[in-house]
């Protein structure tokens, strides 16, 4: 989880170099998409590698890549522009979550029959 957190933080810092607002929307949307994909893919996984992958990618990378506190701060500091930022973040986040879940579920291996 630590290594995933370090990786996610480095990616977030790099993306923010292209602009704070666009960077914020990009990292939060990407993190949501990745986490939803992982959740859809591994929802019923009973393999020994599922938990380490969830911790490394989900809690580590996605947890440090996304940033709710920066969204809240930028919303408060931006006045009316903050409302637009919040709405764009909400819409892109929900679309990313639904898309990620559907894609992850679609590529999830079917369970083997016990027959």
CA pair distance 68, 28, nearest whole angstrom: 8
Model confidence pLDDT, tens digit, residues 49-80: 999 999 999 999 999 999 989 999 999 998 87
Determine the longest span between alpha carbons in the chain, in angstroms: 62
CA pair distance 14, 19, nearest whole angstrom: 10
Domain-by-domain residue ranges, the chain? 1-107
Model confidence pLDDT, tens digit, residues 6-39: 999 999 999 999 999 999 999 999 999 999 999 9
The pLDDT of residue 79 is 82
The pLDDT of residue 112 is 65
113 pLDDT higher than 60: no
CA pair distance 61, 12, nearest whole angstrom: 10
pTM comes to: 0.88
The pLDDT of residue 46 is 84
What contacts 59, CB < 8 A, 6 or more positions away?
1, 4, 5
CB 22 within 8 A of CB 75: no
The pLDDT of residue 27 is 97
């Amino acid at each position: 989880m630590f290594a995933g957190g370090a990786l996610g933080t480095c990616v977030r810092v790099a993306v923010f170099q292209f602009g704070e607002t666009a960077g914020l929307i990009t990292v939060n949307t990407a993190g949501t998409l990745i986490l939803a994909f992982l959740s859809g893919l591994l929802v019923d996984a009973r393999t020994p590698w599922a938990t380490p992958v969830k911790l490394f990618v989900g809690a580590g990378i996605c947890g440090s890549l996304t940033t709710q506190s920066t969204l809240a701060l930028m919303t408060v500091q931006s006045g009316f522009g903050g409302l637009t930022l919040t709405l764009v973040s909400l819409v892109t986040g929900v679309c990313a979550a639904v898309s990620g879940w559907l894609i992850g579920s679609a590529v999830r291996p079917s369970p083997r029959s016990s027959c």
